[in-house]
Structure 1
């Protein structure tokens, strides 16, 4: 029962899907640990959208619709985090100033540039990935990008607890070996990787991104915020799209 409640809490927290079932506050404190499971739901729907839409319209349009789905599902939650993250990190010279900028609901030039690069670059990378592997790439990236949050939550302190909207969704006792347990959803992904190089490259890039993000956040902020997690998801997703384009380039016509 607790597992189901926590997953439903993750659905309520990170999407706009309404859940009529009353959920206890404890379930919401574990919601972020179910992000990898939610990635399967999001990536699975993206896969279906791409497969179905490509039968009735141009592949580029079908791909655009598949990429649009997570943004609509979460009302741009992760994209908003990326924009705030870019504005704060690039526009502030001290930790307090960076955090202050990230709290500002307005989007600055750095945030706009980050959204353009990640969204546009991600689309171009997928567009130039082998057509029969675009759906797999969407599914793999949806799961791995959300899984990147788990090690960050387990190894970095969460900042701005007072008044933070994300405070209720952050686990209070989550460290050490416990950080590995919620990562079990990434194991089945290996069945979707069609080659040994891909089985090596995707986990390697994913692991390197975690190490880089952790070091960067520790140095620049001394911890993380909800915006940092949203940015981490989008940065990881974008990086995996580029990797897929590199591993599985689309054959020239």
Structure 2
């Protein structure tokens, strides 16, 4: 009798978590031994905030070490850089492509064409520079204890934004290929519950630091993400994968600015 030496097949929940880690980060995870379901990315969206917590913890660890070695300014920049590295600059790429598309296209077809172009344009370059600068400078304004709590809360909440945008807008990209994996299937109620619970738990340390800072962060972040989503609806007719990345980044910027507006200099 032969013995199957393959590792046990992961449960659906673990499989979806691994899909989320594999999609959002460059962290090594076990290879999947199953064929991807058409809605695999929609199912993985529920675990995006959990992955965001992990990204926030990594960034917070770098901030803590960097602060002891270099001081708050350079430590904040290193923390932002750590999040960029661990995600493979995935969301930053979406931000740059979105701004190049919005700024350089004069029709929906042209904007979508620009969005697919791998070259970086003026609008995208400026957006990337301001993105990193604003996040690092806002983080550097915070007391260390508040900055650590904010990083975890911010990265968790920011990874929930793609699900909200996907829920409100229709898909505007290519009708073939990737569309089927996340554009057609809605998230279930239990998946939304997991998203909201994760975001709430990740925000608890910041809530204990300052409820007003948490409210400001969520408000500023939601406002900037909604702004990008409204532009996408007007200029593209809906969202694309790059737009989802851009809304995540704009939420991060707004969240950090909102917290800094309340706690800077505390």
TM-score (norm 1): 0.89
Do the aligned partners of 2:142 and 2:265 also contact (CA within 8 Å) in 1? yes
1:250 deviation in Å?
2.1
1:163 deviation in Å?
4.8
* CA–CA distance in structure 2, aligned partners of residues 138 and 211 of structure 1: 21
Name the structure 2 match of 1:250: 265
1:31 deviation in Å?
2.4
1:3 deviation in Å?
1.3
1:119 deviation in Å?
0.8
Name the structure 1 match of 2:77: 64
How many residues in Structure 1 have an aligned counterpart in Structure 2?
A: 250
Say which SS state the counterpart of residue 46 (structure 1) adopts. Answer: helix
Correspondence 1:95 to 2:105: no
1:14 deviation in Å?
1.4
* CA–CA distance in structure 1, aligned partners of residues 50 and 248 of structure 2: 14
Name the structure 1 match of 2:156: 143
Correspondence 1:113 to 2:126: yes
1:104 deviation in Å?
0.6
Say which SS state the counterpart of residue 55 (structure 1) adopts. Answer: helix
* CA–CA distance in structure 2, aligned partners of residues 72 and 146 of structure 1: 16
Moved over 4 A (4+): 175-179
Name the structure 2 match of 1:18: 28
* CA–CA distance in structure 2, aligned partners of residues 241 and 15 of structure 1: 21
Name the structure 2 match of 1:172: 184
Aligned counterpart for 1:39 among listed residues 41, 46, 52: 52
- Structure 1 gap segments, 5+ residues each: none
* CA–CA distance in structure 1, aligned partners of residues 248 and 68 of structure 2: 29
* CA–CA distance in structure 2, aligned partners of residues 61 and 198 of structure 1: 23
1:136-164 deviation line (CA, Å, top 9, x unaligned): 22112111111111111112122324455
Q: Let me know the Cα RMSD of the aligned residues.
A: 2.3
* CA–CA distance in structure 2, aligned partners of residues 19 and 79 of structure 1: 22
Distance 1:210 1:83, change over 3 A: closer
Do the aligned partners of 2:213 and 2:263 also contact (CA within 8 Å) in 1? no
Correspondence 1:233 to 2:259: no
Say which SS state the counterpart of residue 10 (structure 1) adopts. Answer: helix
Name the structure 1 match of 2:223: 208
Say which SS state the counterpart of residue 30 (structure 1) adopts. Answer: helix
Name the structure 2 match of 1:7: 17
Larger radius of gyration: 2
